[in-house]
Structures are given as structure tokens and as C-alpha cells.
Amino acid sequence: MIEFEIITGKGWFSLDEKEFALNDIVEMKKQHPCGVNRWKIIRIGMDIRIKCEGCGHSVMLPRKEFVKKMKKVVEKHEAS
């Protein structure tokens, strides 16, 4: 579970808790120029690498930016 706190002039508050894992399919707030809005998480660390499900292009984002831009988890990866 990922939880972030932000300092504002009014004090501390938490962003919505967003859970995601390796190989999950997520929906971002903005779609990719190819027209698809589904991304597969292919690397998790300080940075998150996601791969477009439409054209295969991959993008690496800092974790904080990824959490801000992620809308929801569409499909959870089932660990075997």
C-alpha cells in the first residue's frame, strides 16, 4: 500500500491511498497519443516504468509523479 503526505500551509494531509504492483494494468488521467489509456507496470522502484498497451512505448516516471497521474488500477496481476 502506498501512502503519501503533503505539507500545505494548513498542515499535513494524505493523498488517496493507491495500491499497485508489478504487472498491474493501470489507467492514467491522460491518454497516450496513440489513443490508448491502459498501461502495464513493468518496473517498480524509486521510479515507475510503464508500458503502453496500445503501441508498446514505455515511459519512466518518478514514483510521486506516477501516483499523481494514475487514475485507477484496471486489472490486478495474479501472482502464481
Which residue in this structure is represented by grid cell 501472482?
79
Entry pTM: 0.74
Question: Does residue 7 lie in a domain region?
Answer: no
Contact indicator for 30, 65 with CB cutoff of 8 Å: no
Question: Does residue 30 lie in a domain region?
Answer: yes
Question: Does residue 28 lie in a domain region?
Answer: yes
Calpha distance 75→70 (Å, rounded): 13
Model pLDDT for residues 17-62, shown as the tens digit of each residue: 678 889 999 999 998 999 999 999 999 988 999 999 999 999 999 9
pLDDT in the model for residue 13: 41
User: What cell was used for 72?
Assistant: 485507477
Which residue in this structure is represented by grid cell 505539507?
7
Question: Does residue 3 have a pLDDT over 60?
Answer: no
Question: Does residue 55 lie in a domain region?
Answer: yes
Look up the domain containing 68 and give its range.
Answer: 21-75
Question: Does residue 8 have a pLDDT over 90?
Answer: no
Calpha distance 15→67 (Å, rounded): 9
Question: Does residue 66 lie in a domain region?
Answer: yes
pLDDT in the model for residue 17: 63
How many domains does the structure of the chain reveal? 1
